[in-house]
Amino acid sequence: MTQDIAKVPGPLAGLSVKLITAIALVILLIEIAVFLPSLANYRAGWLEDRLRVGAVAVRVFDAVPDIMDLPAEVTDPLLQAAGAIAIVYRREGQTDLIALDAVTMPEVTHLADMRDANPMTLIADALDTLVFGGQRTLRIVGTPLGAGDAVVEVIMPENPLRADLLTYAGNIAMVSIVVAGVTAFVIYVLAESVLIGPIKRLTSSMLAFRENPENGTLIFVPEDNRRDEIGVLERAIADTQAELFAMLRQRRHLADLGMAVSKINHDLRNMLTSAQLLSDQVANLDDPQVQRLAPRLVNTLDKAIAFAQTVLDYGRQQTSLPKPEPVDLRALGMEAAVSAALIGHPRIVFDNQVPDDVVVTTDPDHLARVLVNIFKNAREALEDKGDKIASPFIRYSATIDGELIRLFIADNGPGLPPRAKDNLFVAFEGSAKAGGTGLGLAIARELVEANGGAIALVESREGTVFSIELPLDLGVAARKR
């Protein structure tokens, strides 16, 4: 997949070939739409010419008192000039026939009546002549100009008509191909300079920048004189690449700094561990002063070690992509409560109010980590107050509201101080207790947002209330019937 994206399309798969092919095909289709009526008109004109020649021959014969007395030496040249084997002339109830000498009149003829021809009939007859014609005998019927009400019929072979139609169609096809090619080329040249050329530049720039995004010389340089959509796209891509370049440099600096801090933190943790071992030995001394200060020293060292370990774990953490699956919210809450040491707690009551028939499609591991973190924070806050809070509890509930599922985690503890509320989901800033890192809620926010949801602190008169929202378009929830 990555290799396919990184490859520049070949000459036959590029936009240029596709564009010029599409243009040529469209022009050819237009030419075909124009060609059919043109072919029909050519055939109609050809037949009308034969009728007019036949009418002229009839007027010549009209000058003779009795057409039947005309010798073949006179009639045959006139018929041959008209390309006919016979001419029938009808007027005022009288019918005259002039035919080539020694020619047998065909019994079956193909009628071409020019007196009542609509465009669709002319097109159909022209196609019929091209496809099926050539060996038939035509009987052309019409009233040519100058013949008054007389009807002239010209009987002739169809082959000359088909031959002329084929020649005309070939000429038109050749002209159409040339026109389509020239037009497509002209449009292509214009499109290449205005559209395809800039797109090729953008594509090459993006692929090169993708291979080495830390090379500032590969940032796309837009054309300053373009104010159309391509110009807007070029400037947007250039700005995006510049921002990404700066972001990558900053990330590299932060990564280097984080690596240094990680090493310092690792060494500090080792030193604190050694100090903790020494403090345990000091705690065993009989000196009353030592006995009074030792617990505080041990507690401080424990907090420092826990802080160092938390920072190391956060630096190593890599959040996996969500893997949604149907999750029973009540059961997941119970599992998270067990992990947070709430189930069986001697003083704190865990109140699971989520119905056992609510199911949400989300990543169970991500949501479980979020719930465990919030449950644990609530438990520690209640434990710190000891007996000062009567009937301490942590309540876990859920509601389905339109396109959202809302989870609520509430406790009746002391609440959060204002400084913690201002930076609640900011790493190293949002801790509500001394010595805390604030990483738990920062990680919780990342996990919830990765699943398309949102986490927030809800204003309450007592204790602390967190809400977790999961949208239905990403997390499909249903209440079983």
Domain 325-479 has CATH 3.30.565.10: yes
User: Cα–Cα distance between 153 and 286 in angstroms, integer?
Assistant: 141
What confidence tens digit (pLDDT) does each residue in 42-65 have? 999 898 888 888 777 777 666 665
User: What does DSSP say about strands 477-479 and 454-458: parallel, antiparallel, or unpaired?
Assistant: unpaired
Residue type, 156: M
**Residue 408 CB partners (closer than 8 Å, separation 6+):** 395, 396, 397, 398, 399, 458, 465, 466, 467, 468
Write out the CATH class of domain 242-316: mainly alpha
What confidence tens digit (pLDDT) does each residue in 150-194 have? 788 888 888 989 999 999 988 888 887 888 778 778 877 887 777
User: Cα–Cα distance between 184 and 22 in angstroms, integer?
Assistant: 9
Helices 364-385 and 439-450, axial angle in degrees (round to 10): 150
pLDDT surpassing 60 at residue 1: no
| E strand segments, 92-128 | 94-99, 110-113
- The mean-pLDDT minimum among 109-113, 201-205, 221-225 falls in 221-225
Confidence (pLDDT) at 478: 41
CA 93 to chain centre: 75
pLDDT surpassing 70 at residue 9: no
Confidence of residue 280 (pLDDT cuts 50, 70, 90): low
Please report, for the chain, the start and end positions of each structural domain, with discontinuous segments joined by +.
Answer: 9-179, 242-316, 325-479
pLDDT surpassing 60 at residue 479: no
Whether residue 83 contacts residue 50, with contact meaning beta carbons closer than 8 Å, is answered with: yes
Confidence (pLDDT) at 323: 84
| Residue 389 Cα distances to 385, 414, 415, angstroms | 7, 8, 12
Element (H, E) at 438: none
